[in-house]
Amino acid sequence: MERIKISLVDTSKMALICIAAYPAGLILMLLLGGNADLAISLPIISGFIHQSLSHFFFNILLLFFSLIYKGNSYNIKQMVAILVVIQTLCFILTFFGVPTSIGISGLVYFLMTRFLIDFKKILIPLIVIISIGELSSLNDPDGISHWGHLIGIVLGFISLGYLNSLIQKHRYQNLRLIQVIRNIFVPQQ
């Protein structure tokens, strides 16, 4: 029951951030001389805006269910940081012709991957099937951010202990950058 309350609170916070991103995006667009494409593509805005209300509600619903899992005990700052990292990687891909990624889908896929792999190892084939579906859809003009989904899947997989073991084995584990990465991608206990 406690995880449901925490999930509800954190999902509500993320929903409010997403709602606040719309006026922030408009202000940013005005500051950029009316350049809506540039304003929308910036990672701090693109991760929080959605194409439609159904897109928004679907992502929020999946976020809620993903956060119920105890292995996904990230605080809101960590979730925002993870989303900005995913959106930054997507933004870099726009320079190679990949469409702009919008919405919290990358974060949702990150959390779902952690749940599906960590909770029940038998669900690994499901994440493989989802990944193959995303890979096969990369060039579809369907308006879905398949790259954002794939980046979320890969980072979710890396974050499961594999990241900790890599960091612990690394001789530079006390570097500030390594500590920042650990603080973002390793959930609160």
Domain ranges of the chain: 2-185
The reported pLDDT for the residue numbered 8 is 94
The CATH-assigned architecture of domain 2-185 is Up-down Bundle (1.20)
**H helices present in 69-136, as ranges:** 76-94, 105-119, 124-136
Q: Which residue shows structure tokens 């952690």?
A: 114
Among 24-33, 85-94, 118-127, 142-151, top mean pLDDT goes to: 85-94
Global model pTM greater than 0.85: no
Report the 10 Å Cβ neighbour count for 132.
Answer: 10
**Nearest Cα residue to 134 out of 105, 114, 163, 161:** 105
Q: Model confidence over 127-146: pLDDT tens digits?
A: 778 877 777 776 666 666 77
- Sign of the CA dihedral with 77 first, then 67, 181, and 128 last: negative
Residue 71: what pLDDT?
Answer: 84
Q: What is the pLDDT of residues 52-109, one digit of tens each?
A: 888 889 999 999 999 998 888 889 999 999 999 999 998 888 888 877 778 888 999 9
Highest mean pLDDT: which of 37-46, 98-107, 113-122?
98-107
